[in-house]
Structure 1
Amino acid sequence: MSLRRQVRFWRTPALPGLELRRARYARQTFARHTHPVWSLGLVLEGQTHFELGEACWQAGAGDLVLIPPQAVHDCNPQGEAPLGYWMFYLDPVWLPGLTARSPCQVVWSQPEAFAALRALATRLPGLLQRGESLDEWRQGWLAQMAEVLACWPAQSPSADRTPSPWLARAQALLCQPQELSLTHLSQALGLSPSYLNRRFGAELGLPPHRYQLQQRIELAKTALRAGAPIVQVAVELGFSDQSHFTRHFTAIVGATPAQYQKGL
């Protein structure tokens, strides 16, 4: 059965750190991945079942979903029905009251909050397409977002763990554009490959090679937003060819590089 995918992105220099996505998927399979920003979603149709942290979550039409930065998840459609949603990707500067150390509940069913955020999401694409001023929308959006997040239920806090001292260095090394093998990474850290692979996955929810791929895709998204040619992005980030790049990009982002770049 062929994959059906409808996806569109909107962004503007007038609202840095904000990206809006409208998507509808059937039989889409996402690789487990993270985002460097907050992901605030509105499920319009269908169902999704996903793992985040140590818990399993299910969301359906009318639910709000809030995923913190760097949280590993997949959010694939459940069943045969399409999964449709709006998603705000928000730099933490937009959400000063939220931190990963004071987590919110991931899925929230609240009709009034859902309606308010849906109205904001629905209005923005039209404003951008008509080239209208965003000053009024921005003021209303900030007020509505603050009101919704102020009411968002908290999640029971988990025990705070002190990160392993080698983890930050490993993450920094894996954020380079070119691929770094597990052997070279383990040599740089003075750890055995098997221990490093096992402990890194336990700490972050992704093994080193998947974490590194995630960082390369984030670099690719930045380059594509700046207008870089797709084939150039693929080469500079060390992918063997454009089809190889497109396959990995689509598995994580849920859109091809061309679809992502065409966002306003």
Structure 2
Amino acid sequence: MLNIGLVLPDVLGTYGDDGNALVLRQRARMRGLQAEIHPIRLGEPVPETLDIYTLGGGEDTAQILAADHLISDGGLTRAANAGRPVFAICAGLQVLGESFRASGRIIDGVGLLDATTAGMQDRAIGEVASEPTRAGVTADLTEPLTGFENHLGATILGPSAQPLGTLTRGNGNADQAATADLSDGSAQRTYEGAVQGSVIATYMHGPALARNPQLADLLLSQAMGMALADLEPLEIPAVDRLRVERFNASEPPRSQR
């Protein structure tokens, strides 16, 4: 049985990122595996023994509530420290960092990612694509990554975190204004997402795992303690067509970087 934790869908469920848990469950079931989703709502303890955890996006107030709960509960931190895979989207990425800006103030994050989030000058919105860096637990990724970004957070990665992807389209983690005074500012402006330990985080909506089946299977393989290459492949033409359509989609002009 594969147990998938859907973390705080009541506050981090604004952009349809709950779909990532559905994709994981369906891809497992298509391989003949039993899989169930376990919603964990605000105020409920986060079990630390599930096989994989997903977090989605939300607004400022929701982020603050999520951070307070996850810090005080500690279950997700214990799960990540035990090596259980965690997949976080947008606000989920920010909440798992060291700090983020919300409602005009700096809020302490969960601390699973060496990342801090301030504000962007202009909203990053539109198609985003990247080449996987193959950092850490993503070493087996070979296929380009695609999603839809919609955020005002400028996320800067510290030395303990590495980017999930190197941008080929879109804005990614941070803009010119947020990185102008950084010694590695030009590199930071090429980053999309973050990888640290067993945590993979990204600004890609879509849902991300519907648009990136190899990434979904990487997470499944990690949850099951096996190599990605040993996971039975799935042939789903509709998903292949979706990827082609999204990579070929017209894109809005990239902001000044």
Higher helix proportion (structure 1 or 2): 1
Higher strand proportion (structure 1 or 2): 2
User: TM-score, length-normalised on structure 1?
Assistant: 0.23
User: TM-score, length-normalised on structure 2?
Assistant: 0.23
- Greater gyration radius: 1
